Structure 1
Amino acid sequence: MPHEHPQAPADLTPPAQLPWLRRLAARLLGRGLSRLQAQHRDSWFLGHATGQRNGHADGLQEGYERGRVDGYEAGRQVLVIRDLRPDSAAVPGQDDKLFDDWRLPLTAELKKRFKADVAQRLPGDAQPSAAQWKLIFSDTPSTCVVAGAGAGKSTSLVLRILLLRHYLGYELDAMTVVTFTRESRKDFIQRLLQVFAQWQLELSPSQGRELVRTFHSRILPLVRSLPGFSQVRAFETLGNELPAGSEAAVDSNPFDLRLNDAQRQQLNLCYRDLMNDSPRFATLIGELRQEALLLKPLDPDHPDVQKRVQVTQLAAQRDEELCDVIEDLWYAAGAWPIKGIEPCRDTVQIRGSRFHVQGRLAGSGAWVVLGFDPAESSQCQRPGAKLTVRAEWAVKRTLLQAFCDKPLIWLDNYSSAKRLAAALAGDAVAGPGFEYRVKGELAAAPLLDAFVTAASFIENLGLEVGSAVAAMSFPPGDSDGPFFEALALFWKAFEAQLLAQSPPVMTYNRMFALFGENNPENLKLLPDPLLRPLAHLMIDEFQDVSPQIVSWLRASLAEIRRRGTTLHTGRGAQHSSLMCVGDDWQSIYGWRGSSPKFFMEFTKAFPSPANTRVMLVDNYRSQQHIIDAAEHLVKGTPAITGKKAKACGHAAELPLAPVRVFERDEAALAQTLIEHYQQGETVLMLFRKSIDKSLIEKHLVDVVKADSSLPPSRRRLKQLTYHSAKGLQADAVFMLGDCQYLTSSPYKNQVYRLAGLGKPGDAQAFDTAQKEEVQRLAYVGVTRAIRHCYWHVERPNGEAANLPRASGLVQGRQAFFEDLRGQ
């Protein structure tokens, strides 16, 4: 309401004015009275009223103005204050942490008591270093332990478990130690039992097995808790004669992708049904079969071609007779004729000469040529011929590869031909009957095996096969396009078939996906006793985890935090924690989908209110030259900073000897190996490929026979691949073969990027990772050695000569390498 001036009092209204004569008389009279200081009562009142009226009006005016200004200012201040308050309701934010903000309750007194007990009960050479104590006493929710080769991490982890159980009262069912293989799990359990016995603490072998697990053995009970899946089996363990629930049945090697007969039966049955039910799948298989069976062209300038082209005319003259001999062998073996292949003796032109084929594949324009089965005698000859049938057929094959412009299918042996015959006849229980080589793979594999390998790689990266295939692309005419389209159709049908079994079957990858970050609702179905063992996780060899495993770990930790105190009520173990131990220099399983990224970026992958990093750089295994040589091999790879190992303890007292590098010589290598074995040393023979083992074994027959006759505890010779040697050690290590990435994988580069791996903008992210991995593989081989390391590498030739190889980093000028190549 607007402000108004107050009205003057009604009794103060001025009277009417007097006539002028009377005013004059009043003025004269008034002057006289004033001199006499007299007062006229009515006049006084009249003047007083006028003054009062005027003063009151002025006062009201001034007060109004001042009040209006003061009131406006006060009102403005109130409005400003009110403007600072939000109109919308307040909503708290959400953090992205996987853990509560808490600390392990370790007092100075408790630490002192534990250290004293360790000093008293463990021998002097088993006493933890300062860095190892930092691992044992880490009090933050997450801990990343960078442990180089020979760092003594296992003993430190055992003492960590002892601290949690005995000194802090944590229940064993609130903890899980994860190892990757059955062998490492067995060794860790044995060490755990020994240390607990030193403290006179009761820990049964069954308790040890329950505490120390592989990822596979921990995920299976989670799936079996879901309605309808109480008896679910893993595809990877089908055909295992052990009881389905036994420990060994679930501790399969995660890096072993070989298939057994029971697994193949499931694959073949799915293939049969899909061939009948899906015309598109059948069409794709036809395309892949022709692509796989076609004889691959050979460059006319190839040395083999140049050598054999000179006898083209002579070979053509004897070709029909040669075809007769070959066909007789195939008839006798029951491998010819083949239903689906029309027998015929058509001819093809090679440099003006005619050569014969044996048939034509039905429904295509491809000719069929029968090869010489390797099982036949290598001395087999045509009557009167100078060359063996095998040699004559090799000449014909080379000429056809180099100069024939027609599509040719070359059947190499009876067994592959019989599989092809079964497939062409519709008997799909035998599988597709041909092998296929995905670009980037070193060798061809049976088609269904290739499906399993590719699907496993995609799923290990945390991707769904169908979605990943839909996001991939291939150039027109690239046979990998039909392969992956067929894979998407097959894998969907295959997983459905496995689930339809009684009891149902599921791959481990699908099990992990069921409880990954894309399916948090499944974790909510788990009872507390199944989730509780994941509350305090200690994971060894963490550099070898896959994105699929990381997703499962993150989802499980998030669910544990979501449940809060209800999961831990009335228990000594509270909250949750994660301790990961690894060495990014020993990450060597990228070919199956593992990546060191999650270890190198640990705090990003597992966000926590507080994190501890421990660097275990003391090496208790190898003499310093071994350490320096190994680290030199990986110095160019991306790695966690601050790593420089040093020999400690007994290893520091060993005499120095460089790693010796030789040109490959199996006989010389074997001789040196035998010398070390006869001196009573432990020996480790490492090889890159299985063929290398067969080449070296003929030189080691006597020592292998002598060693295998000893009790297992006294044997001193082991022969393993580079990949399977991790965790082992020997006085003398012999490495046969260089480490080199010889190919490029278009499809793996694509899915690697889809999974967010590799550097931004790197179109060959997987290839880049593999080139780095071959250096790490050499590092693993060298660091197995305690005293001596001998490395025999082949001389590079052909295309491989231009590709980077680990031995190329050996320059011969370092004290820790002795380069004896060329001497």
Structure 2
Amino acid sequence: MPHDFSAELPPKSSSQPSHQMPPDLNIPERLPFFKRLMARMFGGGLSRMQAQHVPSWQQGHADGYLNGHAEGVNEGYNEGRFDGIEEGRQVLVIRDTRPLEHRGPRVDDHLFDDWRLPLTNELKKRIKADVAEKLPAHAQPTAAQWKMIFSDTPSTYVIAGAGAGKSTSLVLRVLLLNHYLGFELDSMTVVTFTRESRKDFINKLVEIMALWGHELTLRQAREVVRTFHSRILPLVRSLPGFEQLQAFENLSSQSGQLFDDSADSNPFDLRINDAQRHQLNLCYRDLYAANPRFREVMAPLYRQSLQLKELDRDHPDVQKRITVMGLSSKRDEELCDVIEDLWIRAGAWPIQGVEPMRQTVEVSGLTFHVHGYAAELDAWIVLGFDPGEDQHLRRPDAKLPVWAEWVIKRTLFQAFCRKPVIWLENYQASRGMMQSLSGAAVAGPGFDYKVKGELSAAPLLDCFVAAASFIENLGLDVPSAVAQMSFSEQDPDRFFFEALSLFWKAFENHLLDQSPPVMTYNRMFSLFGENSPENLKLVSDAGLRPLSHLMIDEFQDVSPQIVSWIRASLREIRSRGPALHLGRGAQRSSLLCVGDDWQSIYGWRGSSPKFFMEFPKEFSSPATTKVMLSDNFRSHQHIIDAAEHIVRAAPAISGKKARASGPVQELLPVTVLDRNDDRLLASLTEHYHAGDSVLLLYRKGSERSRLPEALQALADADYTLPPQDRRLKQLTYHSAKGLQADAVFLLGDCQHLTQSPYKNQVYQLTGLGREGDLEAFDNAQKDEVLRLAYVAITRAVRHCYWFIESAGNDDGNIPRASARVAGDKAFFDDRRGASSPGTSSGESLSTSVE
């Protein structure tokens, strides 16, 4: 039986084991060759004799076992390690990287697919070479303009300051899409705001396209270049039942007929013509007869319009006439008799709806009389002295004529009477009152009203149109918005807006009942806005396709309602996918907008620069290109710096600073002067006769009637010249946008004079302005007066003169653009308050006339 050495072996180890053997079994040192040979021969003999030496056998066995074990361990370790690695490579490792909370896929809310225009470097070089060959040197695009033309992202916004030369760049963009990329013209629309700018762009497009071999007709060019209004009208007409639809704003003032002038109406013109007024009056008549609540809310409006306006007791007229107050009271009943007799003879008294009732009223402790009482208006009636009567008529023994006694009484009532009194100034007022109170006013309500925040009163229905347009431009429905507004119980605007809510709903229905049907542009945009996207699905591919590639100029003046329509249209185009563009060269959709937030001046109509200033947020896109056109090819640097100094106090897109890039000119400061019509006439005439083009701009249209006769004569003479030879234009600041002249004369400051409670509320409803700002509209208007001054000044090429009325005793807290004039800046020459020079007015300014 073999000997068991297990008890004598040490524990297994991965390293070479050490052996503790008896001394007589220790492994001998290596023998020399001769001894080793002898041992091998001797051992072989013993083996043949089957004789064994036990200690030798044990030592040999131990050595063999231990050496074999060590080799086996090493070999097993190496083979096992190799097999383990190979096997480990086939083990699936699962790492749980999922979020702790469940999340679904993201919503792709972009208005565009993630695509790029196929513009290669080779194509860009070829286009630049063609433009260099075909266009004159002064029309060659700058690096920034090429960036705009070559923008390959779905959305692009271009900040183009005054005089930036954007029109040519837009035309070259159309050329790029159509001529070089093969996009059909019926897949794109260029939008301008006014009829004049549209006409100019059409001519430029026809001219440049012809240089590349495309002979566009005016009709083809008009199909591409549109106003927003001319694009929305065919969209509505494409729907069943609306093929002959007419726009309310396009109703003709000639013979009351309807017309369609390519829908090129001025979006900022609120004047109402006879045909439009006729429809308003018809609706008013029917609503007044049919709706008791409308009649109820009209009464306090009428009373407010006719009610005698209060006069401060410290007013000079009051202080002058208060001295005869006692005498006036004693003779008042006799005065009433005389005036009442005149009204009876004129057939103007009594008045239907007014009870003749000679009643006494107390005015500052003294007794005066009224002629009647209107129960429906809850007001006393006082008859006035009609201007058509004899101005020298006197009562017996009276020192003053009847009209003078009546004026004294009216002044005293204005200052001291706090009862509701309607003061009828003339016989015509009585006839209008009879119609209004009887509900037979075919010509409308027949009275004016002034909404708080407006500069002046206007016919009531005109006020309805203006307020409704403002609300709708902000993307709101009139009745819904009115329902969320609030006014104090004593505020007559409370009744105005309830009447507006009732009237506007009835008016929209009234227009649709016409044959052919009529609709306001605001309602058309609303029908296809984000609040009713299902309507766009009714539009054919052919009707929707022209909106695929939109290029919009003057984008800073868009309203929230227009923005809603644009976004809804782009979403619908994307949702239809490739089917919309099947077989066409133009694919997908894009939007390129050009504007200047510093030139946003139509906030009073509901426009806002917010959508341009926050363009990437408002028009979500996979990629957006921003381009800054900083070159000004119109004005010299002093004109630019003066205008920017004024407007820089308003919020704006960061990084804006224009540089003069036109021909080198003498740097002449903007000259600021006190209003002086003689000096104005002399300087303007001198510039005109020196051959300069001249713009005479005024803040308000009423300024035109105040101009010197000699200046009017010069303007009339210039107008008789052929159009290309005319060099003098008279316009408001707002109307002058887009124009320029060698010399510009500005009349009037830009200031925010009123506060508008209702517009502040509407601004809050639509989310414009800063959160929590209760006067968001008014604050926006304070910025807008600065922008208006910027627009006016930047019309000038070389000379700019600004004539400003002295502030006098006006409230110093009124925001004024002129407050930003800096006398210590080289680009301003502030001469206000300086004494008039001894020489003529013209000589004082002639140093800057070439």
- TM-score under structure 2 length normalisation: 0.83
Distance 1:391 1:635, change over 3 A: farther
1:679 pairs with 2:690: yes
Check the 8 A contact 1:339/1:421 in 2, yes or no: yes
Contact 2:253/2:273, CA 8 A, preserved across alignment = no
Counterpart in 2 of 1:689? 700
The one-character-per-residue Cα deviations of 1:400-450 (angstroms, maximum 9, x if unpaired) are: 111112211122344444322211122032222222211111112222221
2:643 pairs with one of 593, 618, 630: 630
2:294 to 281, 304, 329: 281
- Deviations 1:120-172, CA, capped at 9 Å, x for gaps: 11111111111111111111111100000011000110111111111111100
Equivalent position SS for 1:356: strand
Structure 1 position 328, deviation (Å): 6.1
- Deviation readout 1:328-351 (Å, 9 max, x if unpaired): 665676544422123344343334
In structure 2, the residue matched to 1:509 is 522
Q: State the shift of 1:317 in Å.
A: 5.3
Give the one of 603, 606, 618 matched to 2:619. Answer: 606
Q: State the SS of the aligned residue for 1:149.
A: coil
1:514-539 per-position Cα deviation (integer Å, ceiling 9, x unaligned): 10001111111111111110000000
1:735 aligns with 2:746: yes
Match of 1:567 among 552, 562, 580: 580
Query: Residue 720 in 1 paired to residue 731 in 2?
Result: yes
Contact 1:240 1:249 in 2 (8 A): no
- For residues 747-795 of structure 1, give each alpha carbon's deviation from its aligned partner in whole angstroms, at most 9, with x where no partner exists: 1111101111001121100000001101111111111111111111112
Could you tell me which of 545, 551, 556 is aligned with 2:564?
Answer: 551
Aligned: 1:758 with 2:769: yes
Q: Which residue pairs with 1:138 in the alignment?
A: 151
CA separation of 1:86 and 1:759: change in aligned 2, threshold 3 A? closer
Question: 1:480 aligned to 490, 493, 496, which one?
Answer: 493
The corresponding residue for 1:747 is: 758
After superposing the two structures, state which structure 1 stretch, 384-393 or 793-802, moved more. Answer: 384-393
Q: 3-state SS of the aligned residue for 1:524?
A: helix
Deviation of the 1:631 alpha carbon:
0.5
817, 823, 835: which is aligned to 1:812? Answer: 823
Which residue number corresponds to residue 307 of structure 1? 320
Q: Aligned to 2:538, what secondary structure does the other structure show?
A: coil
2:211 maps to which of 183, 188, 198:
198
Identical pairs, percent: 67
1:784 counterpart residue number:
795
Which position in structure 2 is the counterpart of 1:59?
none
Give the drift of 1:327.
4.9
Following TM superposition, by how much is the alpha carbon of 1:244 offset from its aligned partner in structure 2, in angstroms? 8.9
Task: Decide whether aligned partners of structure 1 residues 380 and 615 sit closer, same or farther in structure 2, where only a CA change above 3 A counts.
Answer: farther
C-alpha displacement at 1:567, in angstroms?
0.9
2:633 to 595, 608, 620: 620
Whether 1:541 and 2:560 are equivalent positions in the alignment is: no
Q: How does 1:42-191 map to 2 (within 5 A)?
A: 92-191=105-204
* 1:591 pairs with 2:604: yes
Counterpart residue type for residue 215 of structure 2: E
Amino acid at match of 1:726: K
Query: What secondary structure does 2:114 align onto?
Result: coil
Contact 2:353–2:438 (CA under 8 A) maintained in structure 1: yes
Q: Which residue of the other structure, out of 482, 493, 516, is the alignment partner of 1:469? A: 482
Identify the match of residue 783 of structure 2 among 764, 772, 787.
Answer: 772
AA in 1 matched with 2:729: K
Question: Is the 1:687–1:720 Cα contact (8 Å) retained in structure 2?
Answer: yes
Q: Distance between the aligned counterparts of 1:378 and 1:556, measured in 2?
A: 66
Match of 1:491 among 480, 501, 504: 504
1:20 is matched with none
Q: Secondary structure at the match of 1:428?
A: coil
* SS of 2:707 mapped into structure 1: helix
Deviation at 1:799, TM superposition (A): 4.8
> How many residues matched?
745
Q: Secondary structure at the match of 2:742?
A: strand
689-698 or 595-604: bigger deviation: 689-698
Residue 19 of structure 1 corresponds to none
Equivalent residue, structure 2, for 1:42: none
* Aligned CA distance change for structure 1 residues 812 and 220 (closer, same or farther; 3 Å): same
Partner AA of 1:515 in structure 2: F
Instruction: State the alpha-carbon separation in 2 of the partners of residues 223 and 244 from structure 1.
Output: 21
Q: 3-state DSSP class of the match of 2:812? A: helix
Paired residues for 1:317-466 under 5 Å: 319=332, 323=336, 326-327=339-340, 330=343, 335-372=348-385, 376=388, 382=394, 391-466=404-479
Cα distance, 1:691 vs structure 2: 2.2
SS in structure 1 of the partner of residue 163 of structure 2: coil
C-alpha contact (below 8 Å) 1:515/1:555 kept by paired residues: yes
1:246 Cα offset (Å):
6.8
Preserved CA contact (<8 Å) 1:234 1:507: yes
TM-superposed CA distance for 1:269, in Å, is 2.0
Q: Is the 8 A contact 1:439 1:744 kept in 2?
A: yes
| Larger mean Cα displacement after TM superposition, 190-199 or 560-569 | 190-199
| Residue in structure 1 matching 2:661, options 625, 648, 654 | 648
Structure 2 residue 670 is the aligned partner of structure 1 residue 659 = yes
Contact 1:682–1:730 (CA<8 Å) still a contact in 2?
yes
> Do the aligned partners of residues 620 and 326 (structure 1) sit closer, same or farther apart at CA in structure 2, a change above 3 Å counting?
farther
Q: Check whether the contact 1:423–1:430 (CA below 8 A) recurs between aligned residues.
A: no
**Cα distance change, pair 658–332 in 1 and its aligned pair in 2 (3 A):** farther
Q: Identify if the C-alpha distance between structure 1 residues 505 and 382 changes in structure 2 by more than 3 Å, giving closer, same or farther.
A: same
1:266 maps to a residue whose letter is Q
Paired residue for 2:72? none
Q: Which amino acid aligns with 2:156?
A: T
2:707 counterpart of 1:706:
no
Q: Residues 238-317 of structure 1: matches in 2 within 5 Å?
A: 238-241=251-254, 248-316=261-329
Look up the SS of the partner of 2:696 in the other structure. Answer: strand
Secondary structure at the aligned position of 2:175 is classed as helix
CA change 1:489–1:246 in 2 (3 A) is closer
- Matched to 1:775, the amino acid is L
Counterpart code for 1:412:
E
Distance of 1:606 and 1:311 partners within structure 2 = 69
Secondary structure in structure 2 of the residue aligned to 1:501: coil
| CA deviation after TM superposition for structure 1 residue 296, in Å | 2.3
TM-score, length-scaled by structure 1: 0.86
The 1-side partners of 2:728 and 2:344 are apart by 48
Query: Aligned with 2:622: secondary structure?
Result: coil
> What secondary structure sits across from 1:727 in the alignment?
coil
Deviation at 1:326? 4.8
Deviates further, 809-818 or 292-301: 292-301
Contact kept? 2:251, 2:259, Cα under 8 Å: no
